[in-house]
């Protein structure tokens, strides 16, 4: 049995994915390389299912929204990239809205998000969403207490209307520890190719950790409803978090699992 296990490990390491993993600067041991090969195989199978899900949505004019929320550096963008890298780009969008314009600030808060809702046969992935007003904005003083309270009073009705209109809504929260966030920030700052990711809001995230926690708990308490629940995914290990996120999306939408792709 032990020899069989060794042979299997060697086979994985001698594969194309295994050799690439061993050569990666981020993977420093054969054990981690084997884990990465296993992750890549799982990811590939799940990406086939995502293509099947999207094909079903296109064929039946279904509309799907997937929201990714979480602390800064929690891996939201990385998860979305793995989810979308194999599906048809003509029938999906990634929405990561920037700071609202002066005109948008004068509108109903949800208005600019309504404009991003999916059309028939489309999947839309929000890298942060209207839930900015539940956590990021009040923590950083970007909205008033009144604006926050209005949002909290309206958000469940807003989502109820979305779902009643026939749109599938999946809400995922990527959760990391304070220590892991600190580590990721250090890695971003040290990498010239990633330094652009650090914002003024990110710079204060560790200092405001407890404030984020307070508002996050309030968000879950109010908006983790039976009809529109949150899925909290532990994201300290990025690869596991991505696999878990895809699995959750696939389980939430009743697509045809026997559809040929």
Per-residue pLDDT tens over the stretch 189-232: 999 999 999 999 999 999 999 999 999 999 999 999 999 999 99
| β-sheet bridge partners, residue 67 | 126, 171
pLDDT of 55 strictly over 60 = yes
Calculate mean pLDDT across residues 75-100. 97
Q: What is the pLDDT of residue 32?
A: 86
Q: Which residue would you say has higher pLDDT here, 181 or 14? A: 181
Q: What is the pLDDT of residue 260?
A: 87
Q: pLDDT tier at 30 (50, 70, 90 boundaries)?
A: confident
Contacts of 127 (CB under 8 A, 6+ apart): 68, 76, 77, 80, 94, 95, 96
pLDDT of 5 strictly over 90 = no
| Rg of the chain in Å (alpha carbons) | 20
Q: What is the pLDDT of residue 7?
A: 61
């Amino acid at each position: 049995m032990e020899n069989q296990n060794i042979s299997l490990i060697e086979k994985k390491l001698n594969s194309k994915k295994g050799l690439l993993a061993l050569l990666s600067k981020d993977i420093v041991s054969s054990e981690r390389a084997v884990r990465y090969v296993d992750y890549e195989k799982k990811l590939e199978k799940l990406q086939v299912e995502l293509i099947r899900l999207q094909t079903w949505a296109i064929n039946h004019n279904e509309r799907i929204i997937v929201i990714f929320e979480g602390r800064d550096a929690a891996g939201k963008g990385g998860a979305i990239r793995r989810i979308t890298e194999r599906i048809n780009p003509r029938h999906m969008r990634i929405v990561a809205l920037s700071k609202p314009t002066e005109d948008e600030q004068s509108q109903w808060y949800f208005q600019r998000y309504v404009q991003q809702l999916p059309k028939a046969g489309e999947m839309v992935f929000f890298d942060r969403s209207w839930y900015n007003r539940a956590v990021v904005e009040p923590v950083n003083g970007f909205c008033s207490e009144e604006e926050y309270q209005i949002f909290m009073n309206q958000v469940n009705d807003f989502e109820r209307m979305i779902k009643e209109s026939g749109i599938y809504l999946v809400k995922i929260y990527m959760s990391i520890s304070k220590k892991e966030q600190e580590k990721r920030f250090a890695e971003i700052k040290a990498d010239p190719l990633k330094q652009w990711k650090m914002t003024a809001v990110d710079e204060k995230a560790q200092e405001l950790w407890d404030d984020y926690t307070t508002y996050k708990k309030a968000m879950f308490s109010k908006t983790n409803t039976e009809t529109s629940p949150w899925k909290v995914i532990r994201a300290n290990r990025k690869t596991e978090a991505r696999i878990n996120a895809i699995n959750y999306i696939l389980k939430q939408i009743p697509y045809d699992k026997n559809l040929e792709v």
